[in-house]
Amino acid sequence: MEVEMTIRGLLLDPVSSMPIVVLKDVGGDTVLPIWVGNCEAQAIALEMEKHTTPRPMTHDLIKNVLTGLETRVHKVVVTELREDTFYAVIWLERGGEVISIDSRPSDALALALRVDCPIFVDETVLKTSKLAANMTDRVSSEELRKYLEGLNDDDMGKYKM
């Protein structure tokens, strides 16, 4: 089963200084932090802030290509968490045919923001993520999860590169 999520915000991991995309369950309080690269975080932040660039960035180009090919992004799904790596699929629809494309979650999320399509996370990923967080020896991971779950709108400021 898939759980619909929204992008709640972007943060910097206080331990590693890596960007984190925070996904939040549309119908509840479940959060899923996904660590991403700096370039991908910047692409997500630009779209979240509705900042336009003089020339198309990579995810804008992908959107333009798909539009030109009369292809609609049906949804993106974070499908798997394996060895601390998240996996995603972009579901496209063209002429009644549905196509799945393997993707990094960060790219799928950046595209989803641009085309305004739903974001889902497989329920197994949410359970595995919680289990992994509970089994880890690193206290900072559990502390980070509690911190993320307690964030309010004022806490989610503008992401700074």
Which tens digit of pLDDT belongs to each residue from 59-77?
999 999 999 999 999 999 9
Helix, strand counts (H, E) of the chain? 5, 7
pLDDT at 18 over 50: yes
Q: What is the chain's percent helix, strand, coil content, to nearest 5?
A: 35, 35, 30
- Model confidence at 15, pLDDT cuts 50, 70, 90, reads confident
Mean pLDDT over residues 113-120, rounded?
98
- Model confidence at 122, pLDDT cuts 50, 70, 90, reads very high
Distance CA 67, CA 117 (A): 14
Q: Thinking of the domain 2-152, which architecture would CATH place it in?
A: Roll (3.10)
- Model confidence at 142, pLDDT cuts 50, 70, 90, reads low
pTM confidence score? 0.82
Burial 16-39 (b: 16+ CB within 10 A, else e): eeebbbbbbbeeeebbbbbbbeee
For position 64, what pLDDT does the model report?
97
Query: Could you tell me the maximum CA-CA distance found in the chain, to the nearest angstrom?
Result: 50
- Model confidence at 146, pLDDT cuts 50, 70, 90, reads low
Per domain, the residue ranges of the chain are 2-152
- Model confidence at 151, pLDDT cuts 50, 70, 90, reads low
pLDDT at 80 over 70: yes
For position 143, what pLDDT does the model report?
61
